[in-house]
Amino acid sequence: MKQGIALFLKWLFAVLFSAIGLVNCFVGNDPEFGIFILLSSLFFYPPLRLVFQQKTGRKIPTLVLILLGLFIVWSSLGVGELLEKINMSLG
């Protein structure tokens, strides 16, 4: 049960961060930032993490993923003005 919840949360954050990256790519004036966020979000997809582990022999530490996730949220909401970009695209 715990593994299922953990897997669900991994996929949820991966999709959420990818969506943040896509919004930043196509709305506003900073597509490079959006591409950076989109590429960073790839570290959260479980199959891609497994491929990374198999190719390098190293596992991405959970602390690194937490810090990367916090950076994505902080930079998108604060610096990237994500909410304004969403409102601009909807309205």
pLDDT tens-digit readout, 33-63: 889 999 999 999 999 999 999 999 999 999 9
The pLDDT > 70 percentage for the chain reads 93
Whether residue 69 has pLDDT greater than 70: yes
- Over residues 66-91, mean pLDDT: 79
What does each C-alpha distance from 61 to 48, 68, 78 come to in angstroms?
Answer: 14, 11, 26
- The mean pLDDT of 53-74, rounded to a whole number, is 93
Token pair for residue 87? 């409102």
Sign of CA dihedral 76, 45, 32, 88: negative
pLDDT of residue 81: 72
